[in-house]
Amino acid sequence: MTLAGLNFAPMQDDDLEWVAAQDALLYPFPWTAGNFSDSMRSGYGCWTMRDGGERVGYAVLMMVLDEAHILNISVLAGRQRQGLGRRLLDHLGEVARQAGAHQMFLEVRPSNVAALALYARAGFETIGRRKGYYPAAEGREDALVMRSRL
Ligand SMILES: CC(C)(COP(=O)(O)OP(=O)(O)OC[C@H]1O[C@@H](n2cnc3c(N)ncnc32)[C@H](O)[C@@H]1OP(=O)(O)O)[C@@H](O)C(=O)NCCC(=O)NCCS
């Protein structure tokens, strides 16, 4: 699998419908098109990742002073385990570094084995746990807070 044709572009209004549709496929409690649109209007880094012109992933990055927070990072179900998540994560790290961030944070469900493996492999460490942070099928689920130094 070659990823030579990979590129990243700021999310546009005409990506919103597609992004929200993918989110609904990937998450039990997805973001709406309005949530992504609000992120764009708030000045967050909203990205799509394309492989040979085809959209294969997307992400949202919020900067707070010299900290970067990953709010969403997603790869299409049919394109997972091909190194794309790592490339998207590396792109966010590069964007954050260029914007002056020294650390990058994220929250993740302890049940999200794929994401936890990706982050651990990329050098993130768990620094805390937020009780009942996420809605879940039955009640709430904690979030693990992870950090990587840039
Ligand atoms: C999490 C996610 C972005 C990973 O994307 P991906 O393109 O599959 O990740 P990569 O192929 O770059 O994998 C990088 C490493 O992560 C680990 N990993 C990824 N998926 C894994 C899985 N299902 N099981 C175990 N390890 C996994 C592996 O260590 C992998 O390296 P390897 O393939 O060389 O062993 C993707 O699974 C996804 O979009 N999931 C749904 C949305 C989501 O949960 N996002 C995160 C919210 S916090």
What's this model's pTM, rounded to 2 decimal places? Answer: 0.96
**Is-catalytic flag, 94?**
no
Query: Which residues 6+ apart lie within 8 Å of 59 measured at CB?
Result: 45, 46, 47, 49, 70, 72, 73, 74, 88, 91, 92
| Superfamily (CATH H level) for 6-105 | Gcn5-related N-acetyltransferase (GNAT) (3.40.630.30)
118 C-alpha vs ligand 1 centroid, how far in Å? 5
Taking the C-alpha atoms of residue 92 and residue 45, their distance in angstroms, rounded to an integer, is: 9
Tens of pLDDT, residue by residue over 38-94, are: 999 999 999 999 999 999 999 999 999 999 999 999 999 999 999 999 999 999 999
**Is-catalytic flag, 134?**
no
Strand, helix or coil for residue 66: coil
Residue 67 CA, chain-centre distance (Å), reads 15
Segment holding 18, helix H or strand E: helix 16-26
Q: Whose CA is nearest to atom 42 of ligand 1?
A: 74
Ligand 1: atom nearest CA of 80 is: 8
Q: Domain segments of the chain: what residues? A: 6-105
